[in-house]
Amino acid sequence: MVNFPAEFSNKAAKYIKKYGGERIREKIEKLEENPFPQDIERVEDFKGEKVFRVRVGDQRILYIVRYNPNKLIVVKVDKRSRVYD
Which DSSP state fits 71?
E
* CA–CA distance, 17 with 10 (Å, rounded to integer): 11
Residue in 4, 12, 9 with CA at minimum distance from that of residue 67: 4
The pLDDT assigned to 84 comes to: 81
Tell me the three-class secondary structure of 14-39, residue by residue.
HHHHHHCCHHHHHHHHHHHHCCCCCC
Phi and psi torsions of 27, nearest 5°: -65, -40
User: Which residues 6+ apart lie within 8 Å of 2 measured at CB?
Assistant: 70
Residue segments in the chain with a per-residue pLDDT below the cut of 50: none
**pTM of the shown model:** 0.91
Decide: 24 and 17 in contact? Cβ < 8 Å.
no
Residue 1's pLDDT is: 66
